[in-house]
Amino acid sequence: MRLLSLLFFLFPLLTNAQTRLHGTLFGGFANYYGDLQDKPFTLDQSGLAVGAGLKYEFTDHISFRTGFMYGKIAGDDQRNRANLQFRNLNFQSKVFEWNVLAEYTLFDLHDKQLSPYAFGGLALFHFNPYTFDSLGTKYFLKPLSTEGQGLAEYPDRKPYKLTQFSIPFGVGVKFRVTDNVVLGYEIGLRKTFFDHLDDISNTYVDQATLFNAKGAKAVELAYRAGELHGGDPAYPADGTVRGGPKYKDWYYFSGVTLSFAINTRNNIFNHKGRSSVDCPVGVQ
């Protein structure tokens, strides 16, 4: 009986919550900013990105949303600054992200048809950088310890974790298509707290030490200038600069968003407006 009474009082609240619950979809591109991509925002070397999630409208201006994002990022010295092309390093990685965000919409889209918005929050993401050798064979880079991560000779260089936190934030603009369908375009940056998204951060380690610990393939993929026509095949001395640890890596998503009501009375297939109560049949 107590459970029935509780449900009786909660039912109006749950019904109202449904009118504010929306599904979200995303399609666009992903990219990153780091040692192999010196442009903070660019379409160059970008990859496909998709996403899906849920949004709850707390007020007409404030929403909370959560969702999953997938994107592919890449970087290549041959498309990097001219003074870095001699390294001939490159990487690719798939990025899987789960985020929780707060969103602020400047104008009430029930009154206006267009509005800018901003968002920010917290995200957990997984990545795994890889490359292809000169024969086209794929190798994941973390196990190779290209900068001595995890080697006893370099105790200060710990193996990096493939699952990390980031701080997502960004801006966009929304366009109300119907009462229950909203299209938008947004740019969402992700600040990370480490510098190995591209497996490059510090200095070269001793060639013999890396060879003895990880093998010839690790040495080959840690320094690839010898693959270039006219490139210097001599492996750099221990301590020679390989990357820049001062600035952490970033990744970002940019693309089109779609938001649609998912409750039964006020959804993408039913354009009855905002009313959450229908008149009984026969009542005028």
Q: Which amino acid is at 74?
A: A
Q: Which amino acid is at 156?
A: D
Q: Which tens digits make up the pLDDT trace of 192-219?
A: 999 999 999 999 999 999 999 999 999 9
Q: Which tens digits make up the pLDDT trace of 109-145?
A: 989 999 999 999 999 999 999 999 999 999 999 999 9
Q: Specify the pairing of strand 114-126 against strand 130-132.
A: unpaired
Locate the domains of the chain by residue range.
23-261
Cβ proximity of 225 and 231 under 8 Å:
yes
Residue with tokens 């949303």: 65
Q: Which tens digits make up the pLDDT trace of 17-76?
A: 446 899 999 999 999 999 999 888 999 999 999 999 999 999 999 999 999 999 999 999
In this prediction the pTM is: 0.85
Q: Which tens digits make up the pLDDT trace of 139-175?
A: 999 999 999 999 999 999 999 999 999 999 999 999 9
d(CA 281, CA 135): 73
- Which CATH number among 3.10.50.40, 3.30.310.10, 2.40.160.20, 1.10.8.60 corresponds to the domain 23-261? 2.40.160.20
Computed on alpha carbons and rounded to an integer, the radius of gyration of the chain in Å comes to 25
d(CA 132, CA 146): 14
d(CA 242, CA 204): 6
